[in-house]
Structure 1
């Protein structure tokens, strides 16, 4: 087993692309591999399921960027495309007591009751968007982009309603958020997008502070812990940024990838229609087989660690390789590359890690699952003949290597 990181690093393509072929080649090298991040920054990626599970909950692994050696030494510029992931204030870049405080404040406003109460609105919004999808297809020679007209506005609408964000801000937030999280954004454009996004979020927060309502932003502004501490201004902005971007981008990719998978595997869709699998099974298998997030930044060892036989030096920025772990044969068997809705029912089936693991497990996971389940059930009930309008090979992969999906999903809603 290789005990050194001194192997040729894999250069991650900032433009992104479908990760699965690359993941298979990298997994053949090992569960942990060196990678080259944009700007020539040395990093590592944890790709194997068991290695990732261990790493995500390791007590000597931090999220705070003060442990990021290259950043501390001034080798990361202001326009570095992954800088927001490393430095945004909030629970995704906090550790220990600070992380628990921030997560507790957010979780108190983001309760299961609030998620459950959203179901009727999710169903209502879904039906409205399906009407819009039908209109788009009618005006587009029978073809519509499902990602644009359905998979995007559903989670964006839900998270913005939950946060109390006015409709006028939503397109702008999606555009700016996409620029901020893309790994191929030019430095000057990244700086400008980040500055504008923070200004928009500050405007939203200020408006809610002046006129509180029955929404999550107002609840976050009012929330305090047992010691009376509230979210600081930067922490609030960072929390809003996290919830808006993660609250729609992940679910957008999840819905898109699930529809792609079902169109490419009609026999699996047949299992759902025959009652032999559920829409929840579709969501979980999609999360495993085609994770909506491919390589998530960052975690940093606070001391040299050996993970799955590979040395990960202290201060190294490490990517969580969710899309690779989901197809790791060592965890999911020799048919890990097969989309199979009955997989979870097998004895000894391993649960995927695509929504995280440990203290930083995705806070919005129940909402994402609810949205995707409702969306898929209503979509395929309304349009039982839905199919891709172009060959699978013609679908253009998502920009960047963090998110994993396609840029557009043209579909035909009715049989020809």
Structure 2
């Protein structure tokens, strides 16, 4: 069983899909590991570290030759993996809903593509969940970015020259990223409030010492919490939420939005009109910018100023913490493959529940139900 570790070619992608730690663990299972030269360079992992862990390091052609499994962070273009054998697995964050044409090409090449972001949110798959591990880091870094962009201090400071008021931070969306953003903003000394369409998050917000801001006496969302994710809000809820939040946003110094709905455009949470009510120098960090954004006027990968408010279009934010993000991502991949490792077969053999959830292509065809509609 040969496992190939690909070097990421996207300019803004610094992560790598395996670390020396996971290389050693794969070798202990009986796998041969081949790492593309320079794969870990942008995550501060030298080729020699992989070699010391027992992997071979070579160019891409040699790495993918006869590989049974290819590990990646982002799905590679098929022309960059010409020569990969049919029925080889490609495992990583493949963005299948946005990269459907690429999925079709994987099928045509005979590759069995496994999208880790489709991992079901069930107890036994928690250690395999790349969305959670990467979102945790993104929520943390979003607050640091906001603090850097904000021209004032976060904590209240009492000095001989007077008192500096604490910054007011509002977190919109209390999933993994939002919870970490709340915790980080609190640690930096801000007065933190948060909201979500899932009423069950109220206790989580309170447990972190933040103030929950919720629409009262109105049903929340359709299919609330299905699969561990939020889904579309009803029009009535959207209207009530907008009215409540407009007054709250006007009083905030920092707003961080984290709302994503799998398979759909992100919900619009902050309008231009609401931005105009915030005081000059306030900061908004939009963690959904890459998918279209929660904030009106956001530009992915850029910081724009509207009405004196700085709007940060966060793009691939976990990658800015490349070393830690890679370590967590690599462990997710190892946990996934090792959980199904068949010692007799010398390879992983997936079960139906998780296999069907992550498998995009097989036998030259696209097979995932979410891509066949």
TM-score normalized by structure 2? 0.25
**Structure with max Cα Rg:** 2
> Comparing both structures, which one devotes a greater share of its residues to helix?
1
TM-score normalized by structure 1? 0.23
